[in-house]
Amino acid sequence: MKAIRIVPGEHGGRPVVHQLPDPRPAAGQVLVRVHAAGINRGEIPMARRLREGAPVPSGVEFAGTVIETGADVRTWQPGDRVMGHGPGGHAEQVLADPLALMRVPDALSWVEAAAFPNVFITAHDALVSNGELRPGETVLVNAASSGIGLAAIQIAKGMGAKSVIATSRSQAKLARVAPYGVDVAIDMTRGTQVAEVMAATGERGADIVIDSVGASVFEDNLRCMALKGRLVNIGRLGGSIARLDLDILWLRRLRLIGVTFRTRTEAERLACVQGCARDVLPLLQAGRIQLPVDRTFAFDALGEAHAYMDTDQHVGKLVLLVS
């Protein structure tokens, strides 16, 4: 089979297509023929830091057809359409834990299915498992046009949020995300986030902030949060070192939460997948979740996809066409 590996180099890793033996499932494993695989921003800095060592499998999500199951697997059968979360998704075949897979609704294409797992699992973990979203609350989503941003907006609306406030530095991007459940759109180039959030919430503030930006918006995020609000940080595109006003944290009794898959156990990762399947998959099956894909790329063009992602022009997901 063909599989993409990130090969270390003096200036960072680069994606290379390798020819590898076809894998076989061991007990408790599922072998999937991959038809499409998502591409995620977090893969780029990881590749650029790779300067020595063995080649590393690329990709964390995929969609395809079950080829074979190992002993003791009862939940999946050959021919099942699945989408999954796990390492090595940028390959023609991938081995997965049965709990890392979700059933693909009949109406979804492979490209759409490949756009679902990572961002919706991440957004659900941030918004529901950690942010503890309750019906009637207000959610502020930074970097709303990203895959995680669009996922968070739709999960919030689908699970009963009263209002979703979206931010971006592009009016064009705000216009494109508006149909996915945005109640208030804020152009960050105006520098009025706090005033606009407080006005939109009757001076109460946002109950949950889903933050993929980090330092450059951190202080404003705190200032526009409600009493007992929760800020969940996923990414740090705007820097990782921020100033914290402890008076705001103290008086408003705020919670600051960081989430990542990098320090989770395998059991914790699988619990995240299953939580998303429980709460979000029914919304997807009912047609209440949309999966916007900005662009697809050929299997041997992952480097081109990374370069395009670096331009920050996309809205929604980028997907690799595998087979």
Helix-then-strand count for the chain, H and E: 11, 16
The mean pLDDT of 102-107, rounded to a whole number, is 96
pLDDT given at position 108:
97
The mean pLDDT of 49-70, rounded to a whole number, is 96
Write the CATH number of the domain with boundaries 2-116+291-321.
3.90.180.10
Residue 126: pLDDT over 90: yes
What is the model's pTM?
A: 0.95
Domain boundaries, the chain: 2-116+291-321, 119-258
**Which tens digits make up the pLDDT trace of 247-305?**
999 999 999 999 999 999 999 999 999 999 999 999 999 999 999 999 999 999 999 99
> CA nearest 72: which of 93, 98, 95, 94?
98
> CA nearest 229: which of 198, 268, 199, 260?
198
Share of the chain above pLDDT 70, in %: 100
pLDDT given at position 17:
97
Which residues lie across from 231 on neighbouring strands?
209, 256
DSSP 42: T
Residue 42: pLDDT over 90: no
pLDDT given at position 107:
94
**Which tens digits make up the pLDDT trace of 190-229?**
999 999 999 999 999 999 999 999 999 999 999 999 999 9
pLDDT given at position 11:
86
CATH-assigned architecture of domain 119-258: 3-Layer(aba) Sandwich (3.40)
Residue 10: pLDDT over 90: no
The mean pLDDT of 25-32, rounded to a whole number, is 98
Distant-in-sequence, close-in-space partners of 90: CB < 8 Å, separation ≥ 6: 3, 4, 15, 37, 57, 58, 59, 62, 299, 302, 320, 322
pLDDT given at position 237:
85
Distant-in-sequence, close-in-space partners of 175: CB < 8 Å, separation ≥ 6: none
